[in-house]
Chain A
Amino acid sequence: MRRLILRRAVAFLATLFVVSVLVFTVVRVLPGDPALIIMGTEASPEAAAALRRAMGLDRPIPVQYAEWLGAALRGDLGRSIQYDVAVGRLIVSRLAVTLPLTVLAAAFMILTAVPLGVYAATRQGRAGDVLAMLLSQLGIAIPSFWAGLLLILLFAVRLGWVQAGGFDGWTAGLWPALRALLLPAFALGAVQAAVLTRTTRAAVLEVLRADYVRTARAKGLAERGVTWKHVLRNSLLTIVTIVGLQLGQLLTGSIVLENVFYLPGLGRLALGAISARDLPVVQGVVLFVAVTVVTLNFLVDVLYAVLDPRIRYE
């Protein structure tokens, strides 16, 4: 177990280093620079060139990188060009939206998909199964931004139950804040729920055919007990793997939905920073997301060991 964690920790750091070098270089090598974007088409080219120099962007990339890395190791991710505030503070303020949004979406996904998948598997080929599979097919087929727009049109424009988008902050109260996140979380979670339903169903079906399930039934255990105690427990390995991957996808999927629902989250921060070539922000966000995804994978790995004794003793 300790060796596993150590091995993973080394991989973790190596990944972060590669990510940081890549993102730093890529945003600087690609055409487009922040000074030009700030100055636009109505300023003199000399002004853009002077601004570029003032930002220190005319220096060699390795020099800029070393400086940035040194500061980042001390916990300073730099200052946003566009916003003139510390990148770290920006990321934290955006997490207040993206984190609850992702958690809500994940909760929605897990709480609907796992029961539905188990239900469908235990009724394979019957009406309930067909209906569940139809629903999940629909969920996979509909792009989330379109689902988001449809939800806005129905619940905000037509029925007026919720606002069309935006987020007034947690200071406005717990319930108003959560309510603002319901539709986007639903739109975000639905697609992944559809995927997870199908995976759960397949995993459960496979376990249902196993010998020990027959044994459990043979010793007179009630079907309910068989399903939840033996079958689900043994399907969890597959389900956890998929959920772990999906958490990363929820994070990236939130970029699209934060735009449709104009939520001031991390995804919109990243998108805006890329089009504004707000280099410190792009670097900071990418690094942060990389840390998160790698950490999630790491946790999933550890969870494997907990769930499956065979891995623990390897």
Chain B
Amino acid sequence: MTRSPRFGWLLGTALLVVGLGPGAPGLVGPPPAAAQAPQLAVQITAEPPGLDLTATPASATATVVFYNIQEALVKVDAQGRLVPWLAERWHTTDNLNYTFFLKKGVRFHGGRELTADDVKFVLDRARNPETKHPNARHYEDIATIHVRDPHTVTIALKQNNAMFLHNLARQGSVIYPREAVDQLKAHPIGTGPFMLDRWDRGDRVILKRNPDYHVKGLPKLDRVTFRFIPDTNAALAALQAGDIDVMAFGLGPESVEVVRRAPNLQVILGETTSDVILALNNSKKPFSDVRVRRAITHAIDKAEVVKGAMFGLGRVLGSNVDPLNPYFVDMSKAVPYDPARAKQLLTEAGYPNGLEAVLKVTPQYPYTVRTGEVLVGQLEKVGVRVKLEQMEWGQWLDRIYKNADYDMTIIGHAEAWDAGNYANPKYYYRYDSARFQEVYAASERTLEEKKRRELYAQLQKIMADEAPVVWLYVYPRLVAAKKGVQGIWKDLPNPSLDLSEVGWAK
């Protein structure tokens, strides 16, 4: 090995320090495992706050567990379509009673077959407020769950719910064996392509192949290691050094060029459902005035924001319905960049000399800080003098999200189909529009495709008109991987990291 002589001086010093003789074994380890080995080391930024999808909506938990360890009756695929999964088909004649036919021969990790009783148990538990499911409301329209035979279950709804199937595809709807309910947090069991091998708290989660996976020929990998590396520079160095194979979420837009230029690395660039917004406190003066909110929207050059804060990556947005949503309408031009109009609206609203506001951002998400810096400059030009304040994430959740104690803030909302937040006047936007709430309620109860599309178009128009927040851009999907890694979803229609079809090029 030609490396040894150059290594000498460091090793010499080090050994001296450690007090080891030169007899220490293995001076330099072998190079990292050959690229063809059917395993994958994936960096994620945050460690999951527990592995129970029915106890936390954290995207770190979804990344590790959803689609990999546990699956649901219905799946959102890479193209964002709803496809049958653990239920191989379903039918309904009245949109109230849905009968699901479970796929036969699906086994829980190392154990028995999945049956309709598990489905009933899981959904009954989810809709019971006592169990503290993070989104019990997703199941509140369920009236009864009737097990017809081990592979057939009928769910009766209290009323029409256009989101019902979609809700069954969410991460909180995963099916687990009823006897393993107490170990969800530390050792979840499911039907997924991988099973949990171990979770070294604070360091990594290791998954191993499920030999009985119900989709033949999958997964392609034998082993997946998720490593928690919060520092993006450290993660990039680990990728460059070959210690990890994929940076799943940690790649910042500023590092995309570095990865692109590296001969052995690739960048995967796609869309997500994460809408980055400038939230305005609608219950507080001056943002309770729609003219002020529209003025702020007019004052912001979103294309410039994407250029300045995101190195040009990310799609400009005009409402809370993202481009991956089938009912997406491009509203980004509805309230265009127009500083003159912004000033005029501010004057009409009684602020001819502009106004002052505090914009809170959190360094937990560096894009919020960078975006905030660009916005301060843009708003200044129309007389809105903004003071930028950084806030720790735990405080942000408490002060802003829980108590709406703020003027303006920037954050990305990752969840798909989250327009309902604007119909909830208690949500931290404190946006209370009877018009919006009415149309949204109608959209929830309307199943006819054409009508529903119309209602969604209307929703998007109301959002743009009433400007409860400023929708800035869609956070791009940025993945860095070694060349040869294949099968990673380009777009991300929901928070997940499906590794079932990921493998290495032959």
Give the B-binding residues of A (Cβ under 8 A). 30-33, 36-48, 50-51, 54, 80-85, 90, 93-94, 104, 107-108, 111-112, 149, 152-153, 155-157, 159-161, 163-167, 169, 173, 175-176, 178-179, 182, 185-186, 259-262, 264, 268-269, 272, 275-277
Contact = CB atoms under 8 A, between A and B. Distances in A.
A161 B7 contact: yes
A72 to B, nearest CB: 20
B251 to A, nearest CB: 16
28 contacts: A32-B392, A33-B398, A37-B393, A38-B55, A39-B134, A40-B58, A43-B134, A44-B136, A45-B426, A50-B129, A50-B132, A81-B49, A82-B47, A82-B50, A104-B17, A104-B18, A112-B17, A155-B10, A156-B241, A159-B6, A160-B241, A161-B7, A166-B203, A173-B25, A185-B17, A262-B231, A275-B364, A276-B394
Given A31-B394, A32-B397, A50-B132, A107 B17 contact: yes
Interface string B391-432: 011110111011000000001011100100000001000000
B229 interface: yes
Mostly helix, strand, loop or mixed at chain A's interface? helix
A85 B198 CA distance: 14
B334 interface: no
Contact of B57 (A40, A85, A104, A272): A40
Interface in B1-50: 3, 6-7, 10, 14, 16-20, 24-26, 28-29, 31, 47, 49-50
Given A157-B240, A157-B241, A160-B31, A36 B49 contact: no
A45 B411 contact: no
Nearest to A42: B57
A121 B26 CA distance: 39
B26 A41 contact: no
Contacts of B58: 38, 40
Given A37-B393, A47-B136, A260 B129 contact: no
Contacts of B200: 169, 264
Interface of B: 3, 6-7, 10, 14, 16-20, 24-26, 28-29, 31, 47, 49-50, 55-58, 129, 132-137, 185-186, 200-203, 227-231, 233-234, 237-238, 240-243, 364, 392-395, 397-399, 401-402, 411, 413-415, 418, 426
Contacts of A107: 17-19
Nearest to B240: A157
A190 to B, nearest CB: 12
A167 B203 contact: yes
B52 to A, nearest CB: 9
A81 B185 CA distance: 10
B237 A153 contact: yes
B53 to A, nearest CB: 12
A85 B134 CA distance: 22
Given A165-B234, A166-B243, A175-B25, A93 B392 contact: no
Given A37-B397, A156-B241, A167-B203, A48 B402 contact: yes
Q: List the 7 closest pairs (A to B, CB-CB), nearest first.
A: A32-B394, A43-B134, A264-B203, A164-B241, A42-B57, A31-B398, A156-B241
A176 B25 CA distance: 9
Contacts of A149: 233-234, 237
A176 B234 contact: no
Given A31-B399, A38-B58, A50-B132, A272 B47 contact: yes
Nearest to B395: A31
Which residue of A47, A94, A107, A176 has the most chain B CB atoms within 10 A of its CB atom?
A47
B202 A268 contact: yes
A111 B17 contact: yes
B414 A42 contact: yes
A141 B25 CA distance: 36
Nearest to A33: B398
A275 B241 contact: no
A36 B26 contact: no
A32 B185 CA distance: 22
Contact of B18 (A45, A82, A159, A178): A178
A94 to B, nearest CB: 7
Mostly helix, strand, loop or mixed at chain B's interface? loop
Contacts of A186: 14
A101 to B, nearest CB: 12
Contacts of B392: 32, 275
Contacts, number: 184
Contacts of A166: 203, 227, 238, 243
A36 B241 contact: no
A164 B240 CA distance: 9
A47 B418 CA distance: 17
A262 B17 contact: no
A44 B134 contact: yes
Contact of A82 (B49, B234, B426): B49
B231 A260 contact: yes
Contacts of A173: 25-26
Contacts of A161: 3, 7, 10, 28
A276 B48 CA distance: 10
B473 to A, nearest CB: 18
A42 B415 contact: yes
Contacts of A82: 47, 49-50
Contacts of B185: 84
A41 to B, nearest CB: 6
A313 B20 CA distance: 40
Contacts of A262: 203, 227-231, 234, 238
A261 B234 contact: yes
B398 A32 contact: yes
A85 B26 contact: no
B238 A165 contact: yes
Nearest to A186: B14
A98 B200 CA distance: 16
Contact of B238 (A83, A160, A164): A164
Contact of A152 (B202, B237, B401): B237
Contacts of B57: 39-40, 42-43
Contacts of B241: 152, 156-157, 160, 163-164
A165 B398 contact: no
Contacts of B202: 83, 90, 94, 264, 268-269, 272
Contacts of A272: 47, 202
A83 B28 CA distance: 35
Contacts of A85: 186, 201
Contacts of A111: 16-17
Contact of B26 (A46, A84, A176): A176
Which residue of B58, B202, B228 has the most chain A CB atoms within 10 A of its CB atom?
B202
Contacts of B19: 107
Contact of B237 (A42, A80, A157, A176): A157
Given A47-B133, A152-B237, A262-B229, A40 B7 contact: no
Contact of B393 (A48, A83, A159, A275): A275
A82 B231 CA distance: 20
Contacts of B393: 32, 37, 275
B237 A165 contact: yes
Given A46-B129, A272-B202, 15 more contacts: A40-B397, A41-B397, A81-B49, A85-B201, A93-B201, A157-B240, A161-B28, A164-B237, A166-B238, A169-B200, A173-B26, A178-B20, A261-B234, A262-B229, A268-B202
